[in-house]
A and B are shown apart, each in its own frame.
Chain A
Amino acid sequence: MEAGWRIDSSGVADVLERGDDDARLLSAALSAVSVSLDEATGVLDDVVGAALRRLHEQWQPAASSVDRRTVAVLETARTVVRDHLVTDDDMAARFTSSQIGADDASNRFAPRTAP
């Protein structure tokens, strides 16, 4: 029921950093499509241009939702991991070394790989 815990702090930091980079690239790609739609509208006649504008209006909130969700998941992960570590330390502080298995467990309640 209670799964084991393991945090490789530096590994998590790397994944988050790469996640940020990937998110930026995705955001740029979303913007590029938006720019293409805008520019294409500019070279079209009124009738087809209006249809493309309608599509663009549909595109923008969809693109925004992808952007927002990506950032939200990254930020949530940061919070979860940070709170996990804080709770770890908090719990560890409540126990003596004998209660948590002495030296083998270091000063961490939950086993994890130190950075």
Chain B
Amino acid sequence: MRMPQVVDLGEAGFLALDASAISQKAVDLRRGTGRLAEDGAQVSSGWRSLTAVYQSPVAPGLVSAMEPIGYVASGMSGAMGPAAVALEDYAQAIGSLQTRHRSIDADAGILSQEAAASPDWQSDPLLLARQARLEQSVSTLESDFDDAREQCVAVLDGILVPAVQITGSFSTAGVGAWDPRDLRSVSSLDALTPTQVNAWWISLSPVAQSMYLMTEARLIGGLDGIPSAVRDTANRSRLDGELARLVAEREALNLDEQSGSQRERIEVLDRRIGAIRAINHVLERGGRLLLHFDISGPEPLAAVAVGDPDHAEFVGVLVGGKGTTVDGGAGKMDTGARQVRDAAEVVGSIPAGDVVVVSWLGYVAPPTFADAADPSFALEGHPGLRQFTQGLAAVRPAGGAEPTVTVGGHSYGALPVTLASQLPGSQIDNVVTYGGPGIAETFPDDIDRYWMANDNDLIRGVVGSGWYKYQPSTRDGWEELSTDPFEADGVELTAGEHHSYLVEGSSTLHNLAAVIAGRPDKAVPYGQD
């Protein structure tokens, strides 16, 4: 008797897979990654014993250079955890599908036997119903196989493996003479002025400089007085590693049940991750130098130059106001800086490269409008701005021309800018505040000062409150520049106000550019437009 084939089981792809083999490989992977975390931790912790037998200013740097190995290995191990779980789940799913397939196959065989015994089986509603159920089961098997694959692939494709930063300095360190007398401790460098920092740096041998770049990139990248190109190299060398580390930590927290402190940590991590991504986005525009990169505090800080300030005749430093953050504001500030640079080149008929504009996000700005009445943000941040401008001059060769430095403070930024300008030794030549709520009280006579204000500036709402009782005035040597529409060199310029002072084609952009370019005579004073 020939049995009819009442159910077509097809060629199920999962039948060719060995579920136990997949499961075993998942176990191997889990075991291997566990060992990796332990071995990575041992490398870093064992290396710390170097400080017991070698003491010099560079010893901490040598130890810290190995620290990332432990946490990156741990991150790599952690990243592979979900892969092992996904493979184990997949192996289980395959095993289950194969069991179900065997069961369906057996039921189909019985049904075939019964159909063979009944010539009219295709008219038998009970047999037909069983046939339909079995066919449905076969169809479900296939869709479940697809689901299992998709689920496993989604997990595997979602894994980001952290890497440790390798800079070019690794390949050059060790070449040539090394003079440990050149070395200084981190704390001792922090105490130096930008001029002293520069003198120390240029006295180092190339090998020593490479050593510092390798072991103390964070320090070198943030030191005013170090050449801008070096700071850029140091800061950029940290971006990928920091991002990978932060993302790995962020993903690990996602996997756990989140407590209040974990949520706070996630917020910090998100800000730092967002800041690095924003910086990367700006750097991708090209022609930028990353002069500052600090994610050690609650709010990431940075400074990005459009061009190389070490070789420019005119340098503008823009300082943002309320709510300016690296992750939320670096892109917009950089766009404004580029537009100011372009406009300054035109207004001053200055060759490309001789005007550089820096987005200085080196202080924690007040996050809300209410906070804008609090001077503590400016009081905390202004010494860093003063030192940054000192660094711009310190990197110039002895006896060479120093840059003309203009600092522009937008909104609340007017406060740190005017405070920094009052400190002794500031290298600021011009100050421009725009859309500011007020200024610091006194001002040195040797600094030219300009202000722009528009009645539509939202920040004017806090004028007269507490700290902001001091306003720029012509009596104190300030010159007010126009924010109204006007024509300059045959070009119609639009009005500028609170959020659009640096918009291309605006009168305010023109005026700020004119001052930065050393041509304040080309700026349009208030009331003369």
Contact = CB atoms under 8 A, between A and B. Distances in A.
Given A3-B55, A3-B57, A84-B180, A66 B29 contact: no
A81 B54 CA distance: 8
A66 B71 CA distance: 11
A65 to B, nearest CB: 4
Interface of A is mostly: helix
A25 B215 CA distance: 23
Nearest to A63: B76
Contact of A44 (B22, B163, B165): B22
Nearest to B40: A26
B53 interface: yes
Counting chain B CB atoms within 10 Å of each CB, the highest count among A14, A35, A68, A79 belongs to A79
A102 interface: no
B488 interface: no
A70 B43 contact: yes
Contact of B46 (A2, A19, A82): A19
> Which label, helix, strand, loop or mixed, suits the secondary structure of the B interface?
helix
Interface string A1-29: 11111111001101100110011011011
B54 A12 contact: yes
Interface string A29-43: 110110111011001
B25 A4 contact: no
Interface in B1-42: 13-14, 16-18, 21-22, 25-26, 28-29, 32-33, 35-36, 39-40, 42
Given A22-B39, A43-B17, A48 B53 contact: no
Contacts of A66: 40, 69, 72-73, 76, 163-164
Contacts of B398: none
Interface string B163-186: 111100011011001111100110
Contact of B164 (A2, A65, A75): A65
Give the one of A1, A35, A36 with max B CB within 10 A.
A36
Interface string A58-79: 1101110110111011011111
A42 B180 CA distance: 52
B47 interface: yes
Interface stretch (B153-161, B315-323, B337-345): B153-161
A93 interface: no
Nearest to A4: B55
Contacts of A2: 57, 184, 188
Interface string B57-71: 110001001101100
Contacts of B69: 26, 66, 69-70, 73
A52 interface: yes
Contacts of A106: none
Nearest to B38: A29
Given A36-B29, A45-B17, A68-B170, A12 B53 contact: yes
A22 B43 contact: yes
B47 to A, nearest CB: 6
Range class of the A interface residue count = 35 or more
B68 A58 contact: no
Given A40-B29, A54-B156, A69 B166 contact: yes
A49 to B, nearest CB: 10
Nearest to A72: B170
B50 interface: yes
Nearest to B188: A1
B153 A48 contact: yes
B432 interface: no
B73 A26 contact: yes
B166 to A, nearest CB: 5
Given A40-B87, A73-B62, A79 B165 contact: no
A87 B33 contact: no
Contacts of A23: 43
A45 B18 CA distance: 10
Given A40-B87, A84-B178, A76 B170 contact: yes
A87 B52 contact: no
Nearest to B52: A11
A48 B17 CA distance: 11
Contacts of B188: 1-3
Given A25-B39, A76-B214, A79-B173, A43 B18 contact: yes
B247 interface: no
A47 interface: yes
Which of A6, A30, A55, A59 is packed against the most chain B CB atoms within 10 Å? A55
B90 interface: yes
B83 interface: yes
B49 interface: yes
Contacts of B87: 40, 52
B25 A39 contact: yes
22 contacts: A1-B184, A1-B191, A2-B57, A12-B50, A22-B39, A22-B46, A25-B42, A29-B36, A32-B35, A40-B25, A44-B22, A48-B149, A48-B153, A58-B160, A65-B72, A66-B163, A68-B170, A69-B164, A72-B171, A77-B62, A78-B174, A80-B62
Interface of A: 1-8, 11-12, 14-15, 18-19, 22-23, 25-26, 28-30, 32-33, 35-37, 39-40, 43-45, 47-48, 51-52, 54-55, 58-59, 61-63, 65-66, 68-70, 72-73, 75-84, 87
